[in-house]
């Protein structure tokens, strides 16, 4: 299972033709205490870079974009009941949605973990 990252601080962990998507550790640190998460509709077809979810914290609201094109096949309903999961385990149990990849070739446009770490270093 490989994890990829976007410059907007989403991650996607791909297994087979499905990816699990969430926000990075860096994103949740910037947000602060998460108080609300709006998830996409299961069955919705999205394009890479399209806004699909919203995460709100005590500081701000932020859009969550799909790293790849495809069809939403599952959402993490636990986040609706407990949005603070994002702060507790951003790159694990606090995934937002699962997507069936329309074009696995789009993953080439994303960063691996090392490239993402290097990208974060340029932000400070």
CATH number at residue 68: 2.40.50.100
For residue 80, the enclosing domain spans 2-123
Indicate the pLDDT class of residue 1, thresholds 50, 70 and 90.
Answer: confident
Measured CA to CA, the distance from residue 94 to residue 79 in angstroms comes to 7
pLDDT in tens, 47-103: 999 999 999 999 889 999 999 999 999 999 999 999 999 999 999 999 999 999 999
**Of residues 6, 14, 110, 96, the one with CA closest to residue 53:** 96
Q: For the whole model, what pTM was predicted? A: 0.95
What is the count of structural domains for the chain?
1
Residue corresponding to tokens 């999205």: 46
- Residue 106 pLDDT > 90, yes or no? yes
**Of residues 75, 70, 115, 119, the one with CA closest to residue 95:** 75
Q: What does the pLDDT read at residue 124? A: 73
SS3 73: strand
Measured CA to CA, the distance from residue 98 to residue 23 in angstroms comes to 13
């Amino acid at each position: 299972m490989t994890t990829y990252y976007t410059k907007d601080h989403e991650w996607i962990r791909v297994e087979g033709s499905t990816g699990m998507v969430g926000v990075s550790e860096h994103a949740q640190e910037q947000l602060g205490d998460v108080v609300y998460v709006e998830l996409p509709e299961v069955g919705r077809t999205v394009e890479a870079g399209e806004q699909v979810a919203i995460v709100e914290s005590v500081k701000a609201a932020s859009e969550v974009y799909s790293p790849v094109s495809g069809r939403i096949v599952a959402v993490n309903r636990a986040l609706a009941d407990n949005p603070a999961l994002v702060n507790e385990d951003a790159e694990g149990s606090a995934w937002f949605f699962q997507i069936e990849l329309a074009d696995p070739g789009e993953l080439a446009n994303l960063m691996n973990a090392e490239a993402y770490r290097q990208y974060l270093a340029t932000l400070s």
